[in-house]
Each structure stands twice: as C-alpha cells, then as structure tokens.
Amino acid sequence: MHDDEWLAGRFEEHRPHLRGVAYRILGSLAEADDAVQDGWERASRAGADDVENVGGWLTTIVARVCLNKLRSRQTRREAPLETSLPDPIVTADAAALGPEDEALLADSVGLALQIVIDTLAPAERLAFVLHDLFGVPFDEIGPMVDRTPQATRQLASRARRRIKGAETPAPDRDVRRQRAVVDAFFAAGRAGDFDALVALLHPDVVLRADYGPGRPGRSTVVRGAAAVAEQARLGARIGGILHPALVNGAAGVVVTARGRPVTVMGFTIAAGQIVEIDAIADPPRVRRVAAAVLDDGGTGPDLAG
C-alpha cells in the first residue's frame, strides 16, 4: 500500500515535469504553481494504491486542473488576445537556471511559440501540449477533453496547423550572436539611427507590448520594420537601465527606471535580424518574473545617456 509519505516523495520527484506541463498549458508561472499545488491536494486525497504509472497519473491530474483553469478564465478580455503575453522564464544567464527552470525550458519552446500556444482553444491547447511536447498518448488525453482518441488527434492536428501558420523564420540558437543583435538594436535606438534600426529588423517584424490589466488601452501590436524602428527611437528617449537577461533561453533585457523594474523584453532573432519583440510592461508582473535578474545586482548601459 502506498502511504502519504511515499506519495509525497514521488510527487516531489515529478514536480519539475508537472510544473513544465502546467506552464506550457497555462502560459503563467503563478497559475502553473497553483495548478501543481492543486494537483497535489487532489492526488493526496485520492491516493495511489491502484496506480501503476504514478508519473502519468500525476500528469493527468495536473492537466485536468489546468484545463479547468483555462475554461474558467474570463472570456471577455480588456486587452486583445494577441497583446496578452505569457509569462517568460527570465534569468541572468544559463548558469542561473535552477532545476525547475531547466525543466521548463527543456522542450526548447521559445516565447514566440508559447504566444501562439496561448491563442489556442482549451481542448486544442491541452491536446497539442500533452502530445506534441510531452508525448502523452491520445488515448490518455481523450478522456480529459471528453473526446475519442481519434477526435483528440484531430484537435492536436488542428492546433499544429495553426502553429505552423504562425511560424517565423527558424531562430538563431547562438546566444552570443543574439546578444550582439540586441545590443546593436539598443545602440541604434540611443543614437536615433533610424536606418541602422531598420537594417536590424526583419521587414515583417512584430512588436507586442503588454501593459497588463491596469493599462489595457496601452497594450498594442506594431508590425513592419519602419513602424517598429520608430517605436524603438521613441522608447530610447524615455531612458532607463538595461539589464541583459535570458528570456525563455534567448537574449533579452530587463529595463529598470529609478531603481524599479518596468519592462521585460524578449527577442526572436533569425539570420541576424529581429523578427519578434515581446515586451511586458506591467511593473508588478515584471518584478515577479524578473526577480532572478534584479536580485543578481547586475547593471546595464544607461539608455538615457
């Protein structure tokens, strides 16, 4: 018989994986942690006496919790869906990644893909994440979404087509090359060099800015190299301190002003050009997701000077 202590030990072994599943489904670190805790409470009440595959059983419990959370989210949003960005994993550098952060990034899902995942309907999202990212069979996913395995396969296929339709050029994997492009982007912005900015931007570049529920009217999407370059010039005038960071494993920055965090910016870079910029400018949220960088005491170049 499995006692509570045994089950608690097995749950802790699987916690990084369960948190990764919850994060990919929900796109929120805080909600993922809540889902994992809720999953533990459900598992401890149910017990695992007749369970052969404890990892699969726990994954199913947490996935069901996540699906309920997705379905209970408010359908009316103050900001358009495309400007509601998921939580990024922000660290000072690769060495700063803890075991749970490594688990979150192990599937190599960058922020750009997580943004697309967040636009999927709940059942599509669950089917795609569990099957394509974590290898859960369709006959195990089907009961979670009240569908047959064949219908669940179709959900994942539909999600896959939507994701493929939103694909950007294959991103560069070398963080040093990414950092060189990001540094050049901010240098050109400080200098007000419009032509240099445009040269660093893909012609179809997309800038998303999420100002959070407190300032939904400011959240926006800007498309095209010229429009994004102009936004970069305007943003450089505001000033701030750049703290280099890894954002979902890619080069990015945390911006502080008067000692307070104001923005996290993630970049998707392909063939030496920026194809996506995703900015979270909700200070309370920035403080939460960027704590590892800010607690590091690192400093960056003064954008104002």
| DSSP classification of residue 171 | P
Whether the model pTM is above 0.95? no
Q: Read off the pLDDT of residues 225-248 as tens digits, 9 standing for 90 and up.
A: 999 999 999 888 777 899 999 998
C-beta separation of 149 from 138 below 8 A:
yes
pLDDT of residue 223: 95
Distance CA 266, CA 249 (A): 10
pLDDT-based confidence at residue 299 (cuts at 50, 70, 90): very low
Separation of CA 219 from chain center: 17
* Per-residue burial over 124-145, b = 16 or more CB atoms within 10 Å of its CB, e = otherwise: bbbbbbbbbbeebebebbbebb
Q: Read off the pLDDT of residues 87-139 as tens digits, 9 standing for 90 and up.
A: 888 888 655 555 555 555 555 456 778 888 888 999 999 999 999 989 999 99
Q: Which two tokens stand for residue 8?
A: 């608690």
pLDDT of residue 1: 44
pLDDT of residue 301: 46
Query: pLDDT at residue 51 above 50?
Result: yes
Q: Which residue segments constitute the domains of the chain, with CATH numbers given?
A: 4-78+113-165 (1.20.140.160), 79-110+171-305 (3.10.450.50)
Q: Determine what percent of the chain is predicted with pLDDT higher than 70.
A: 85
Q: Which two tokens stand for residue 290?
A: 């960027």
Q: Read off the pLDDT of residues 245-275 as tens digits, 9 standing for 90 and up.
A: 999 888 999 999 888 889 999 999 999 999 9
pLDDT of residue 78: 47
pLDDT higher at 165 or 81 = 165
Q: Read off the pLDDT of residues 176-217 as tens digits, 9 standing for 90 and up.
A: 999 999 999 999 999 999 999 999 999 999 999 998 877 767
Q: How far is CA 147 from CA 43, 123, 124, 161, in A?
A: 23, 10, 11, 20
